[in-house]
């Protein structure tokens, strides 16, 4: 069943339909929140609050609207509020599980290779966090979460041209910062 059908069922009070949407998008939303907050606890709280708000406001989503884009917009707004509330301090609680394993899959042959891969992921994550928020969010949405530039422009409330410029700037900054690592 596609998102439009699931949203329609949610609007009629079908609880299993909303559970299906949570199952479908929780992992991606969690990764997006973690990319911004660098705290498993905070990312989990953002995800929970996002889905609670989505459930409460499910009747406001347009029939032709994208559920995925809508929940990412909710999450983005909650992340901004979190930063304001906490004076934009990022809490590093890295435990080696920084990014989705499938996105950075590497053949492992030795235990030292696993440690090296985790270290590379941590360095990439740290450098991603060091770029300005407006560039980082575009990079996470388009590169990691596979949103189109048009979808990212809707989530971040800016033009597609701005998204394109920000994406290019983010790639250039990351390329320069990670030169020699990848």
Domain locations in the chain as residue ranges: 1-93, 106-182
Q: What is the pLDDT of residue 62?
A: 82
> Which residues have CB under 8 Å from 137's CB, separation 6+?
36, 76, 156
Q: What is the pLDDT of residue 114?
A: 56
pTM score of the predicted model: 0.67
Q: 147: helix, coil or strand? A: coil
The radius of gyration of the chain's CA atoms, rounded to the nearest angstrom, is: 17
Q: What is the DSSP letter of 61?
A: S
Q: What is the pLDDT of residue 24?
A: 94
Q: What is the DSSP letter of 142?
A: I
Q: What is the pLDDT of residue 92?
A: 38
Q: What is the pLDDT of residue 116?
A: 57
> Which residue shows structure tokens 């079908």?
14
Per-residue pLDDT of the chain (182 residues; tens, 9 = 90+): 899 999 999 999 999 999 999 999 999 999 899 888 888 999 999 999 999 999 999 999 887 778 998 999 999 999 989 988 877 544 433 343 334 434 333 344 454 455 556 677 777 778 888 888 889 889 989 988 889 999 999 888 889 999 999 999 999 998 898 887 65
Q: What sign does the dihedral 5-6-10-12 (CA atoms) show?
A: positive
The CATH number of domain 1-93 is 2.40.110.10 = no
Q: What sign does the dihedral 23-8-13-67 (CA atoms) show?
A: positive
Q: What is the pLDDT of residue 93?
A: 39
The second-level CATH assignment, the architecture, of 106-182 is Orthogonal Bundle (1.10)
């Amino acid at each position: 069943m596609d998102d439009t059908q699931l949203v329609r069922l949610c609007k009629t009070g079908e609880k299993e339909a909303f559970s299906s949407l949570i199952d479908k998008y929780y992992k991606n939303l969690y990764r997006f929140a973690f990319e911004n907050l660098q705290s498993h606890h905070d990312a989990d709280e953002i995800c929970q609050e996002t889905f609670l708000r989505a459930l409460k406001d499910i009747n406001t989503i347009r029939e032709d609207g994208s559920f995925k884009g809508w929940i990412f917009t909710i999450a983005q707004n909650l992340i901004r509020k979190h930063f304001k509330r906490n004076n934009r301090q990022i809490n590093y609680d890295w435990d080696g599980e920084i990014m989705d394993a499938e996105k950075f899959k590497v053949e492992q042959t030795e235990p030292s290779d696993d440690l090296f891969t985790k270290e590379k992921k941590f360095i990439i994550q740290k450098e991603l966090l060091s770029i300005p928020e407006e560039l980082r969010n575009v990079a996470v949405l388009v590169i990691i979460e596979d949103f189109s530039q048009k979808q990212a422009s809707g989530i971040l409330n800016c033009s597609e041209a701005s998204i394109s410029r920000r994406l290019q700037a983010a790639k250039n900054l990351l390329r320069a910062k990670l030169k020699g690592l990848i």
